């Protein structure tokens, strides 16, 4: 190891410890911490994030990065770590310490303001805070923007390298032009699918039992992970030997089943990071989009297929004999694939999901690039829902205030959700040609293992050493192509609806 790299490493290890501590605080806060701990926890996270900033913007750190960049003896991984470190430095170093602190403080408050406004269905109460958060994010983006770079492109780059507005405009245009009319066709088909059996008396402990069973079944390793309960399901990880998923229980059994399989997909990605990379700057999933591709791959492409349920549905019936004993495999699979245009993104079905994202993408562009007046958001939002999904929110809680993201300053994050689905479909189309995908699912755990190994081999093991775009190219032999996603959806749902 070169001297400069070694010195850089000591800084990175300190930064990593702070990151890990913040992850743990956040996990704890969402899952277990007592009610009154909140404000104190925010202060702690604020303090630790200040320490992180302090390490990254240390003059010595900058000096070591410069030295490493000139060092030709670095391995490929080391060079990638230096590159990531440089990007992290660039991201933070251009923000004055004072503004960084103010923004961190603002964010922890603004999430509370948002939650209250949502609860009280009072958008006006959130407007001043949202304006401030947006202003900060625009300012930070302007600090980081390269000559002539659009601000929203700076934001997008944080979550998904190589996917700027030009690419995304094309992507979302494909969805809009083909999926919106297809959805209308489905809804006008007169076909009605029964999924009433998914709602009812599903005891929590039984849902937990089947949730853990399914997580393990798809490959979530409970020696390296845990599952807990939180208000909204999420995945987090301290490192590749400590990956954590959550779920929530209600009387819709499919909510917990598919959230568990979804989060397991995220978890399996992080468990697939090699020991050599974990807890380094390249030791995580490469992007939000690729992460979402894995979670949605497990949830939808694997988890909502008949082949998947064929060996495992009897187990589900065994746990819920009264509720599902009389429901056939075919009825069950149709039920879990019912399409219902709805108002809430996180409850959307596979077919309509990316239309929710399309709406957010269009609005974010307007907010950042066209200075849309924040006050007008509820109306713009409602109009777009009516146009694309045929439904109109009756209040802001089921409209513009449904997502936490903007309150946290996450502008540019949403597109990853739709990109992930599209990445997944492109990978699936390739995989189907080279393996008996459905046949593997029908053989149960052993078959899923083959699929999982393919994903590990081609995606997970690289961490951040490859971008999502590179991965797609290396695996499928071609650049990102959204048509696969549309074709996949149209084929699948034409079948489900028999049209």
Catalytic residues: 263
User: Rule CB under 8 A: is residue 177 a binding residue for its own copies?
Assistant: no
Contacts to its own copies from residues 394-453, by CB under 8 A: none
CB of 241 to its own copies, least distance (A): 4
CB-based contacts of 179, cutoff 8 Å, min separation 6:
351, 354, 355, 486, 489
Contacts to its own copies from residues 41-60, by CB under 8 A: 41, 44, 47-48, 50-51
- Residue 125 Cα distances to 113, 172, 313, 380, angstroms: 8, 32, 47, 18
Tokens standing for residue 351: 């077919």
Q: Which stretch binds its own copies (CB under 8 A): 127-135, 241-249, 327-335, 406-414?
A: 241-249
Q: Which stretch binds its own copies (CB under 8 A): 224-232, 320-328, 479-487, 490-498?
A: 224-232
User: Rule CB under 8 A: is residue 94 a binding residue for its own copies?
Assistant: no
User: Rule CB under 8 A: is residue 98 a binding residue for its own copies?
Assistant: no
CB-based contacts of 391, cutoff 8 Å, min separation 6:
341, 342, 343, 385
**Helices and strands, number each (H, E), in the chain:** 21, 3
Sheet strands (E) in 143-281: 225-229, 235-239, 242-247
CB of 155 to its own copies, least distance (A): 29
User: Which residue, 51 or 487, has its beta carbon nearer to its own copies?
Assistant: 51
User: Rule CB under 8 A: is residue 2 a binding residue for its own copies?
Assistant: no
- Residue 65 Cα distances to 59, 373, 473, angstroms: 10, 41, 30
The answer to whether residues 268 and 452 touch, using CB atoms and an 8 Å cutoff, is: yes
User: Rule CB under 8 A: is residue 458 a binding residue for its own copies?
Assistant: no
User: Which residue, 44 or 391, has its beta carbon nearer to its own copies?
Assistant: 44
139, 150, 241, 473: residue in contact with its own copies (rule CB under 8 A) = 241
CB of 205 to its own copies, least distance (A): 10
226, 329, 366, 435: residue in contact with its own copies (rule CB under 8 A) = 226
User: Rule CB under 8 A: is residue 97 a binding residue for its own copies?
Assistant: no
The answer to whether residues 413 and 423 touch, using CB atoms and an 8 Å cutoff, is: no
- Please work out the total of residues on this chain that contact its own copies, with binding judged by CB under 8 A: 34
Tokens standing for residue 37: 């701990």
Name the strands in the sheet holding 242-247, side by side, starting at the edge strand that comes first in the sequence.
225-229, 242-247, 235-239
The answer to whether residues 312 and 158 touch, using CB atoms and an 8 Å cutoff, is: no
CB of 318 to its own copies, least distance (A): 22
User: Position of tokens 């964010």?
Assistant: 107
What gap in Å lies between CA 308 and CA 310, rounded to an integer?
Answer: 6
User: Rule CB under 8 A: is residue 20 a binding residue for its own copies?
Assistant: yes
Q: Which stretch binds its own copies (CB under 8 A): 101-109, 237-245, 409-417, 469-477?
A: 237-245
CB of 16 to its own copies, least distance (A): 8
The residue ranges that bind its own copies (CB under 8 A) are 13-14, 16-17, 20-21, 24-25, 28, 32-37, 40-41, 44, 47-48, 50-51, 222-226, 228, 238-239, 241-243, 279
């Amino acid at each position: 190891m070169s001297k400069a790299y070694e010195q850089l490493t000591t800084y990175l290890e300190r930064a990593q410890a702070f990151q890990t501590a913040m992850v743990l605080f956040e996990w704890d806060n969402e899952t277990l911490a007592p009610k009154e701990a909140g404000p104190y926890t925010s202060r702690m996270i604020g303090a630790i994030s200040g320490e992180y900033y302090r390490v990254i913007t240390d003059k010595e750190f900058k000096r070591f990065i410069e030295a490493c960049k000139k060092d030709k003896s670095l391995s490929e991984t080391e060079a990638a770590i230096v590159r990531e470190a440089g990007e992290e430095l660039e991201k933070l170093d251009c923000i004055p310490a004072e503004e960084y602190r103010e923004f961190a403080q603002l964010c922890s408050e603004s999430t509370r303001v948002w939650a209250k406004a949502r609860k009280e269905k009072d958008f006006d109460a959130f407007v001043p805070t949202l304006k401030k958060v947006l202003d900060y994010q625009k300012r930070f983006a302007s600090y980081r923007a390269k000559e002539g770079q659009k601000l929203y492109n700076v934001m997008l780059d944080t979550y998904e390298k190589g996917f700027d507005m030009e690419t995304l405009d094309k992507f979302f245009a494909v969805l809009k032009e083909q999926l919106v009319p297809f959805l209308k066709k489905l809804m006008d088909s007169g076909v009605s699918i029964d999924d009433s059996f998914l709602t009812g008396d599903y005891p929590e402990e039984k849902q937990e039992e089947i949730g853990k069973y399914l997580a393990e079944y798809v490959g979530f390793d409970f020696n390296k992970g845990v599952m807990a309960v939180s208000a909204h399901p999420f995945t987090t990880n301290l490192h590749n030997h400590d990956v954590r998923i959550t779920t929530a229980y209600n009387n819709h059994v499919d909510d917990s089943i598919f959230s568990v399989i979804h989060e397991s997909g995220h978890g399996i990605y992080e468990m697939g990071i090699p020991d050599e990379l974990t807890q380094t700057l390249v030791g995580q999933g490469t992007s939000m989009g690729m992460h979402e591709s894995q979670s949605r791959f497990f949830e939808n492409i694997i988890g909502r297929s008949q082949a998947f349920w064929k060996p495992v549905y009897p187990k589900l019936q065994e746990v819920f004999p009264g509720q599902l004993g009389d429901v056939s495999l075919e009825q069950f699979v149709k039920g879990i694939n019912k399409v219902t245009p709805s108002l809430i993104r996180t409850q959307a079905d596979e077919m309509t999901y990316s239309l929710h994202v399309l709406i957010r993408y269009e609005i974010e562009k307007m907010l950042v690039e066209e200075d849309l007046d924040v006050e007008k958001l509820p109306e713009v939002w409602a109009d777009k829902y009516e146009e694309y999904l045929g439904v109109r929110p009756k209040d802001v809680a089921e409209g513009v205030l449904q997502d936490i993201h903007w309150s946290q300053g996450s502008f540019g994050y949403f597109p990853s959700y739709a990109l992930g689905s599209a990445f997944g479909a492109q990978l699936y189309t390739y995989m189907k040609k080279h393996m008996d995908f459905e046949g593997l699912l029908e053989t149960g755990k052993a078959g899923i293992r083959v699929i999982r190994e393919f994903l590990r081999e081609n995606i997970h093991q690289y961490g951040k050493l490859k971008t999502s775009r590179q991965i797609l190219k290396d695996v499928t032999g071609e650049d990102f192509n959204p048509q696969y996603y549309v074709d996949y959806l149209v084929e699948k749902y034409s079948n489900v609806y028999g049209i």
